[in-house]
Chain A
Amino acid sequence: MVLEIQKPRPIWQIMFSTHHTDVGLLYLITSLAGLFMGGALALTIRLELFLPGSQIIADSMTFNRIFTVHGTTLIFLFILPFASAIGNYLIPIMVRYKDMAYPKLNAIAFWMIPPGFALVWLGFADFGWTAYAPYSVISAPGPAADMWIFGLKILGVSSILGAINFIVTILKCKHPDLPLSKIPLLAWAYLTSSLIMIVAMPTFAAALLMLLTDRLGVSGFFNPARGGDPIAYQHLFWFTFHPEVYVLVIPAIGFMYEIIPRFSRKPIFSHGSGVAAFILLSIVSFASWAHHMYATGMSFTEKTVFMVGTLAAVPASAMHVFNFLATMWGGRIRFATPMMWSVGGIALFFSAGAGGVVNTAMPLDFITHDSYWVVGHFHLFVMGTIAFGSFGFLYYIFPYVTGRMYNEKWGNIHFIVSFIGAVMVFFTQHVLGLYGMPRRIFDYPPFPEWVAMNQFASIGAMLLGIGAAIFLVNMIYSAAKGKEANMDDPWGIGGKYYYPYQQKNPHH
C-alpha cells in the first residue's frame, strides 16, 4: 500500500521509481499544479472581464496569451495527468496485476510532461488552445508559438505512451480468472478512452509538424498565400480533439461509476449497459468532429452528416446518466463529499449535453458558434463534469494515498461553494452568448446586459476560486495532520460496500 505519510521516503525514491503508485503520485501532484496554475489564469480572465475596459491586464496581447495557456494547461496538464494518476493507482489493482504492463515506459510517459509543461508556460503563446491556421502560421509571434508546438508534441507523445500502457495492462495483464466483461467500469473507461487516444492523437501530431514547417516557411499546407488550405488544419485538429473530448470525459464517468454504487449501497444498475455505452461513445466520437466548423463555409450535406454524427453520441451519454440515477434509485445514499461531487457532476453533465444538442442543431449553431454560449457549454463538461468528477474521486482516493481522512465538513463546503460558482459562471455564459458576446475578447462594449452578466459570472468564478483555496488547505493539512483513516471503510458505509483497494496485492 502507499501510505506515503506514515512511511516517509526520500523524494528521489518516489521520483525515480517505476512503481505504479509512485508514478501515480507524480502524475497527481503535477495535475494539481496544472489545476491551480490554469485556475489562477481563469480568475485573472474573469477579473479582467468584470468591467469593460482594461482592469488588471494591461494589453490585449497579454490577455490572449493568458486564455491560450489557461486552456492548454487545464486540458493537457490537469485533466489528462489527473486521469493518468488515478489510472496508475487503480488499474493494476482492478485487473489484479503487480504493476502497469511497462513500468519504465510508464515513468517515461510521466517524465515527458514536465518539459512539455515548461515549454507551454515559458513560451506563453497567444493563438488560443486551438492554434488555428493561418493565424498560427503567419501572425502568431515566435518563439512562443514554436515552444507551444513543441510542448504539445511532447505531451501528445506522452499521452500515446500512457494509453498504450493502459490498453496492454488491461487486455494482456489482467488475471486469467477475470473475464474482460467483469472488470470494473472504471477499467472499461480507461480501456475505451485509451483506444480513442491512440486512434485520434497521431492526426494532431501530424498537424503540429505541418504547422511547424509552415511557420518555418518550408511548406504551405495551411497557408493560402502558398496554395494551402487553412480549413484542412481545422479538420486535422478536430479529428483529434473532438474524440479527445471523450478521452477527457470517459474517465470522469468511470470515477462516478466507482463512487455512486458504493455510496448508494447498491450494485450498479447495469454493468452491461455501462460497457455498451463506453464502446458506443468510443466509436461515435469519431463521427462528429466537423460540428466545430459549420461556419467555415460547409455545404448543407456536410453539415447534415456531422449533425447526425453528433446527435448519435447523445443516447450513449444518456445511458450513463440513466445508469447513475437507476443505481441511486431506492438506495440508502450516504452524501459524503465524493458522492456530492458525483451527483453535482451528473447534473452538470446533463445540462452540458442538453446544450450540446442545441449547438449541433444546424440553424441554432449560427447563434451559439464562437460566442460565450460555447464557452459556457464546454466548461460545463470540463469543469462541471470532469473536474467535479475528479474532485470527488480525489476525496475518495485520499485515504488510499495518504492513509488519512480529509476534513469532511470542508469537503462539503468546497462542493457547495463550487457548485453555486459553476452554475453562476457557466449558465450565465450561455445566456451571454445568446446576447451575442464573442469568445476570446479582451474588452467589450458597455452594453448593460453584457456588463451585468459578466459581473455575475465573475462573482461565480470568485466562488470557484474560494472553493479551490479551501480544497488546497484541506488537502495539505489533512495529508499531514488528518485523522487516521479506517482503511476498511473510511466513510462508515458498512455492509459489503467496503473500501475496495485494501485487498492485499501479493506482489508487494
Chain B
Amino acid sequence: MSGHSTWPEWVYIGVVVALLVWVGAESWNVERLIDHVPADAEVIKVTGQQWFWTFEHPDGTKEIGELHLQKGKPYKFEITSKDVIHSFNIPDYVVLQDAVPGRINIVWFVPKDTGEFPIQCREYCGLIHYNMRGTLYVEDTA
C-alpha cells in the first residue's frame, strides 16, 4: 500500500516475541522451583491483624512483632489474617504473601545470614498500616 518494505517490523516483532518467550520460560522455571516447599521445613503460623503480626512456633510459643529463627533452616509460613487483608513481607529475603482472612497462604524461605531484618505489611490495611512493622532475628544454630 505505502510502498515501503515491512520486513524490519517483522524482524523487530520477532525479537520482541523471542525476548518475551525467554522471560516467560525463565520465570516459569524459577517459580516452579520456588513453589516446591522442602519437606523438612518448620511451620511458623503467621497472623496479621490491625496492626501487628503474631508468630506461632511449632512448640506453641508465640511472638508478637518479633520473630526469632535459626540460620540455614528452611521455614514454611502459614499466613492468615484476623480482620482485613495484610501482606506479610520480609524484603531482604523476598518473602511476600498476602494475609487474607479465611484463607491460609504459604510461603517458605531459608535465612542465609544472621542479623536483624525488617518485617513489614505490604498491603494497605488502614490507620497504622505504615507502622505495621516487626523484626526478624536470625540466630546461629551453634
Interface residues of A (CB under 8 A from B): 60-61, 64, 126-128, 132, 134-135, 138-140, 224-225, 229-231, 267, 269-273, 295-297, 300, 303-304, 307-308, 311, 314-315, 318-319, 322, 326, 357, 361-364, 366-367, 369-371, 435-436, 438-445
Contact = CB atoms under 8 A, between A and B. Distances in A.
Contacts of A224: 100-102
Interface residues of B, number: 53
Contacts of A443: 130-131
Interface of B: 1-2, 4, 6, 8-9, 12-13, 16-17, 20, 23-24, 26-28, 30-32, 34-35, 50, 83-85, 87, 89, 91-92, 94, 96-98, 100-103, 105-106, 118, 120-131, 133
Contact of B130 (A60, A225, A361, A362): A60
A437 to B, nearest CB: 8
Contacts of B120: 436, 438
B81 to A, nearest CB: 9
Contacts of B30: 362-363
A449 to B, nearest CB: 12
Q: Is the interface of B mostly helix, strand, loop or mixed?
A: mixed
Contacts of A357: 20, 23
B23 A273 contact: no
A270 B2 CA distance: 8
Contacts of B16: 314-315, 318
A303 B102 CA distance: 21
Contacts of B118: 436, 445
A231 B12 contact: no
Q: Which 9 A-B pairs have the closest CB atoms?
A: A436-B91, A224-B102, A297-B105, A441-B130, A361-B27, A362-B31, A135-B84, A224-B101, A370-B122
Contacts of A135: 84-85, 124-126
A444 B130 contact: yes
A190 B128 CA distance: 42
A319 B91 contact: no
Given A139-B50, A229-B102, A439-B124, 9 more contacts: A128-B124, A132-B85, A134-B83, A225-B101, A271-B1, A363-B31, A436-B118, A443-B131, A445-B133
